[in-house]
Amino acid sequence: MSERLFGIETEYAISPLGDPERSVGGEGFALRFMNVAAELFPHLRGYRSYGMFLTNGGLLYLDCGGHPEIATPEVCNPWDACRYVAAGERIVANVAKELARRDPHLGVFVTRCNVSYGGAASTWACHESYCHRSDPYHPRVLPDLLIPHLVSRVIYTGCGGFDNRSRGLKFMISPRVAHLSHVISGESQNNRGIYHNKDESLNGAGYHRLHLLCGESVCSQTSAWLKVAATALVVALIEAGLLRRSIVQLQSPLAAMRRFAEDVTCTARVPVYDGRTEWTAIELQRQYLREAERYVDHPVMPSWAPEACRRWGEILNRLEQGPQHVATILDWGIKYAVYQRFLDQHGIEWSTLGWWNQVIDKASEERRLLTRCGGSGLAKTLICAFGRRHAEFEQLEHVLQVRDQLFEIDTRFGELGRQGIFAGMEAAGALEHRVEGVDGIDDAISNPPSSGRACLRGDYVKRLRGTEAVCDWTGVWDCRRKRFLDLSDPFASRAKWRQIDGSELLPF
């Protein structure tokens, strides 16, 4: 059995709420967040990776757009991945709580939601890193064999929500997909791709890092667990050369991903490369699952592969039966059920959303007229524009109000803390998303995983905190004692310090 290493980076959205006179938004507020975090949590300053390395081996830093981001330590199983993501959430929530405590006029809102509905149509995300040793002389192999997996896995990895580039209510299994514009791209803030080919190994010893940014933060443990487990198995199979001839290729990966992300029935078919057949996302996933099951005992596979295959198959079986069968398990399934219900309660049928979206788009085009018209004036304008269904047009303002409420609900669904909607449903015992064995969250706030270089890193962050030492993913520099701990081997298990001279001490 082989160990696989991976990690998760989660960007959070943080906003000051309360007295607008006193609130500081954007990066200024995020900097205050980071200063409080530095006071609360023992750490070593990051060198190349700006921010602070924590005693659990992870990194807290401020990413672009003023988003606090937590990168978990490198872990070798999906339980630890979920455990350290949850620990990161508690770290962020604790900092937010302390910020609010220090300023009684301030409310601090933090959410996992990956899109902004406030008119900016912006996105941030949850990235994954997988350590691998694929052949660098065949750079197309990894993307070619992985992309159909990334395209189709959205059916169990999507966080659900609305396309925030639309003014209407377009539900998507994965709203992040609306922000992907390339199949392969090295960019991360614009022109994002399904497959991110930025080459930043953060490893030595022949290891590479696959960095994915097409995913989203999810609340469901089942979803988060399966996302890393299934993807790590696929990467392992590719690394071992076991998938080469068996995986069908999509004719248009981007179009296919959008189609899958918009289809809650998971029955949409997309053309594959030979043009003769069309496959569903479930069928595409089953081909990967079949290969993982076939090679489950292969030396390249981790010890948890059999359980991953079992859970993978179970969720595909559920998805095959319809969205109601994941309505208590997956983020998008829960949202789909709850949002339909919310619309029903407000007298709007889900099936009419397509029509309302057309109306809203038309209304947006008529912005000049809309600004002059209110109430019945708005309705008259639209009646003139469309020339039919008067009664429905008169409901438009009600629909827009409900739309804004649903956008707020979606933003608050993943809110950190007990007031979040997912957290509230979880506390009421209404959800079935948990994965047995994802526990010890409080311990993971301050302690590293038991294996891999993160174990050493976390240990030395504890020992050297408060000194002039600095840290990075690949090493620790102990400036006072002029020594360097090389962590370029991701599986390093023993601390091997070496003395360094002044020229090797980094300019801090």
Partner 1 sequence: MRFREPRDNETRQRSDGEADGNLASMRETGESLFEAADAAINKALSQDSLSFLNNTRQQGGQ
Of 407 and 477, the one with the shorter C-beta distance to partner 1 is 407
Contacts of 163 (CB under 8 A, 6+ apart): 170, 172, 175, 178
Q: Site for partner 1 (CB under 8 A): which residue of 313, 322, 437, 440?
A: 322
What token pair was written down for 179?
């922000």
Q: Tell me how far apart the alpha carbons of residues 223 and 127 are, in angstroms, rounded to a whole number.
A: 14
Q: Report the distance separating Cα 128 and Cα 438, nearest Å.
A: 18
Q: How far is the CB of 317 from partner 1 (least distance, A)?
A: 10
Locate 140 and state its tokens.
């197309």
- Under the criterion CB under 8 A, does residue 337 sit at the interface with partner 1? yes
Q: Using the rule CB under 8 A, is 267 a contact of partner 1?
A: yes
| Choice from 29, 342, 386, 491 touching partner 1 (CB under 8 A) | 342
Stretch that binds partner 1, among 80-88, 113-121, 232-240, 477-485 (CB under 8 A): 113-121
Decide whether 28 or 241 has the Cβ nearer to partner 1: 28
Minimum CB–partner distance for residue 413 and partner 1 (Å):
9
Among 361, 404, 442, 504, the residue binding partner 1 under the rule CB under 8 A is 404
Kind plus residue range of the DSSP H or E element containing 142: helix 141-152
Least separation in angstroms between residue 179's CB and partner 1 is: 8
In the complex, what is the shortest distance from the CB of residue 339 to partner 1, in angstroms, rounded to a whole number?
Answer: 9
Residue 340 binds to partner 1 (criterion: CB under 8 A): yes
303 in contact with partner 1 (CB under 8 A): no
Q: Does the protein bind partner 1 through residue 507 (CB under 8 A)?
A: no
Residue 411 Cβ vs partner 1, minimum distance, rounded to whole Å: 6
Rule CB under 8 A: say whether 257 interacts with partner 1.
no
Q: Where are the alpha helices (DSSP H) in 11-77?
A: 26-40
What does 209-251 look like in DSSP terms, one character per residue?
EEEE-S----S-HHHHHHHHHHHHHHHHHHHTT-STTT---BS
- For 74, phi then psi, to 5°, come to -65, 130
Among 369, 370, 396, 409, binds partner 1 (CB under 8 A): 409
Strand partners, 250: 272
> Is residue 99 close enough to count as binding partner 1 by CB under 8 A?
no
* Minimum distance of partner 1 from residue 372's CB (angstroms): 20
Instruction: Name the minimum Å distance from CB 418 to partner 1.
Output: 9
Which residue of 411, 447, 451, 474 would you call a contact of partner 1, by CB under 8 A? 411
Could you tell me which stretch among 64-72, 128-136, 167-175, 252-260 binds partner 1 (CB under 8 A)?
Answer: 64-72
Ramachandran assignment for 321, one of left (phi > 0), alpha (psi -120 to 50 degrees), beta (any other) = alpha
Contacting range for partner 1; rule: CB under 8 A; set: 201-209, 289-297, 322-330, 461-469 = 322-330
- Measured from the CB atom, the residue of 314 and 404 that comes closer to partner 1 is 404
Interface positions, 221-250, toward partner 1 (CB under 8 A) = none
Minimum distance between the CB of residue 453 and partner 1, rounded to whole angstroms? 24
Identify which of residues 239 and 283 has a Cβ nearer to partner 1 in the complex: 283
405 lies in the binding site for partner 1 (CB under 8 A): yes
Strand partners, 196: 185
Which DSSP letter does residue 504 get? Answer: G
- CA of 468: how far to CAs of 36, 49, 480, 485, in Å? 20, 16, 7, 14
* Rounded Cα gap, residues 496 and 486, in angstroms: 7
Strands 192-196 and 180-185: parallel
Residue 214 or 487 having the CB closest to partner 1 = 214
- Element at 264 (helix H, strand E): none
Q: Which helix or strand (DSSP H or E) is residue 84 part of?
A: helix 78-102
- DSSP conformation letters of 400-453: HHHHHHHHHHHHHHTBSSTTSHHHHHHHTT------TT---HHHHHHS--SSSH
Asked if 46 is part of the footprint of partner 1 (rule: CB under 8 A), the reply reads: no
Region of 65-73, 128-136, 244-252, 445-453 interacting with partner 1 (CB under 8 A) = 65-73
Cβ neighbours, 10 Å, residue 199: 11
Window contacting partner 1 (CB under 8 A); options: 246-254, 304-312, 420-428, 446-454: 420-428
From 11-19, 88-96, 201-209, 442-450, span contacting partner 1 (CB under 8 A): 11-19
Which phi and psi (to 5°) does residue 194 adopt? -60, -40
363 binds partner 1 (CB under 8 A): no
C-alpha torsion sign, points 218, 223, 224, 227? negative
Which residues of the shown chain bind partner 1 in the complex (CB under 8 A)? 11, 13, 15, 17, 20, 26, 63-67, 69, 109, 111, 116-120, 122-125, 127, 188-189, 213, 264-265, 267, 320-324, 327-328, 334, 337-338, 340-342, 401, 404-405, 407-409, 411-412, 415, 419-425, 428-431
